[in-house]
Amino acid sequence: MHRFANPGRFQRLAARLLPWLKGLTALAFLAGLYLALLASPPDYQQGETVRIMYVHVPAAWMALFAYLLLGLASASALVWRHPLADVAAAALSPVGAAFTFIALVTGALWGKPMWGTYWVWDARLTSFLLLFFLYLGHMALLGAFDDRSRGQRSAAVLALVGLINLPIIKFSVDWWNTLHQPASVARFDGPSIDPSMLWPLFTMAAAFHLYLLAAVMERMRTQLLAARLRTQRQARFETWQGEPGA
Amino acid sequence: MKRKTLRLYLLVISLALLGIATALVLNAFNRELVFFFSPSDIAAERPAAGRMIRLGGLVEVDSLSKLEDGATVSFRVTDLSSSLDVAFRGVLPDLFREGQGVVVQGAFNESGRFVATEVLAKHDENYLPPEVAKALKASGRWQEGAATMGTDGSEP
C-alpha cells in the first residue's frame, strides 16, 4: 500500500485510470439499465415494481461497502498514519451517504405498493437509517474543528465505532423478525432470485462498484489538489508578510 | 514500528470490547427488537386487552371472509402450529392474499377478538418470473408461503 503513499504518484495513477473508469462505468450502466428495465421479466408477485430492486439492492450494497472502506481507511489513518487514508475517508463518506439515501428512498417507494407502508421501524430499516446518520456525522465531524487533523481524527474514531453497525444491518433480518425480507443473494443455500433477474442485478452491481471507485478516486484527486493549493496560498501569505512595508 | 503496533492492538481491543458490549445490549433487548409476535408467542403469553401489538404470520388458506357489515374482513393468521382470528376494517395491501405473509398491528378487544388497525403484506425473498412460478406450481415443487415466515429461523 505504501507504494501509493506518495500523493504525487497517486495523482499520476488517478489521471491515467480515471478516463477509463468513467467510460467503463457509463457502459456498465447502459448495459445494466437495459437489462434491468427492459430485458428482464416482471416478478410473479410484484409485477413491474420488482425493477426498483435493481437500483435499491446495489445501492444498499454500495452503502455498506463504502462504509467498510471508510472503516479501513480510518483504521490505517489512525494506526499507520497513511498519508492518503484521511483523503480517502473524506472522499468516501459523501458518496456512501448518497448511496444510503438512494437505498432508503427506493426502499420506501417499493414499500408503499408492496407492504402498504413507506416506512416501519423494524430492525433492518432502523439500522440502515443509523448508517445514514453515521455518514452525516462523519462529514460533520470532519469540518467541525479549525484544526483539520483534529477533525480527521475524531471522524475516524466515529467511523470505527460505527463499523459495529455493519453486521447488525446484514444479520438484522436473521436475528430478529422484521418486515424486510431476508437475504436473497448472499445466503448459504444459494440465491433465491431467478437467474433471469439475478444477472441484470449483478450487472447493475458491477456498474455501481465502478461508479463508487470512479467517484471516490475523483474526489481524492480534487482534495489533494485543494490541499496543495492551500499550502501554496499559505506560503505566499507568509512571504508577503515577511516583506518590508507590508 | 513499536508505536504503530501498540496503536493497532489498542484499536483491535477497543473494537472487540465495543462489539461485546453491543452484543450484550442487543441480547438484553431481544424481545423489544422483534417487529412482530407469532401466533404461538401470543398463545403462550396473551397480551392484555387494548395493548397494541404486531402479529405476524401467514394468512391461513380458506380463512378470509367478509363480515355482515360488508366492510370488515376476517381472516386467520397462522405460523403453521398455532393460529389466531383477526378482524380488520380498511384497505388491504396489493400483496395480501391467502397463503401470503402479513404483519398486522392491533389489539385484543374486551371480548377477546384481535382487531387490526393496520395490515402490512410481508414479501418473501423469492424473485421469479411468472412463467417459472407457474411451472413450479405445475410440477408440484411449489411450497406456498414456505419462505415467508422466518420467525423461528427455520429454513424452508
ipTM metric? 0.78
> For A34-43, what is each residue's pLDDT tens digit?
999 999 888 8
Q: Is A50 exposed, middle or buried (0-12, 13-18, 19+ CB in 10 A)?
A: buried
pLDDT at A151: 92
Mutate to test the interface with A, among B12, B59, B127 (most CBs of A within 10 A): B127
pLDDT at B153: 36
pLDDT at A74: 96
- Restricting to B residues 70-129, those with a Cβ less than 8 Å away from any Cβ of A are 91-96, 103, 118-129
pLDDT at B152: 38
CATH superfamily placement of domain B35-139: Nucleic acid-binding proteins (2.40.50.140)
The torsion region of residue A191 among left (phi > 0), alpha (psi -120 to 50) and beta comes to: beta
pLDDT at B143: 62
- Residue B84, min C-alpha distance to chain A (Å): 18
Which amino acid makes up residue A111? G
pLDDT at A9: 87
Task: Give the residue from A98, A85, A89, A91 showing the smallest Cα distance to A219.
Answer: A91
Contact (Cβ atoms closer than 8 angstroms) between residue B60 and residue B83? yes
* A87 Cα distance to chain centroid: 15
Residue B148 has pLDDT above 80, yes or no: no
Instruction: Report the residue of chain A nearest B38, measured CA to CA.
Output: A177
Parse chain A into domains and list their residue ranges.
20-183+191-241
A79 to B8: CB separation less than 8 angstroms, yes or no: yes
> For B13-69, what is each residue's pLDDT tens digit?
999 999 999 999 888 887 778 888 889 888 888 888 888 889 999 998 888 888 777
For A63, A131, B112, the CA distances from A158, given in Å and listed in that order, are 16, 12, 49
Residue B154 contacts A, CB cutoff 8 Å: no
How confident is the model over A206-221, as a mean pLDDT?
96
What is the distance between the alpha carbons of residues A93 and A89, in angstroms, rounded to a whole number? 6
Which triple of cell numbers denotes residue B43? 398463545
Task: Give the residue from B80, B73, B75, B99 showing the smallest Cα distance to B39.
Answer: B80
Parse chain B into domains and list their residue ranges.
2-32, 35-139
pLDDT at A23: 97
- A interface with B, Cβ–Cβ < 8 A, is 41-46, 50, 53, 75, 78-80, 113-117, 120, 122-123, 160-161, 163-164, 168, 173-179, 181-184, 187, 189, 192-194, 196-197
> For A46-64, what is each residue's pLDDT tens digit?
888 899 999 999 999 999 9
Residue tagged 474543528 (cell numbers): A145
More confident residue, A94 or B147: A94
A75 to B155: CB separation less than 8 angstroms, yes or no: no
Instruction: Report the residue of chain B nearest A186, measured CA to CA.
Output: B125
> For A130-142, what is each residue's pLDDT tens digit?
999 999 999 999 9
For A31, A53, A54, A219, the CA distances from A205, given in Å and listed in that order, are 11, 11, 8, 21
* Residue A195 CB neighbour total at 10 angstroms: 10
Percent of residues, chain A, with pLDDT higher than 90: 68
Task: Give the residue from A221, A199, A170 showing the smallest Cα distance to A31.
Answer: A199
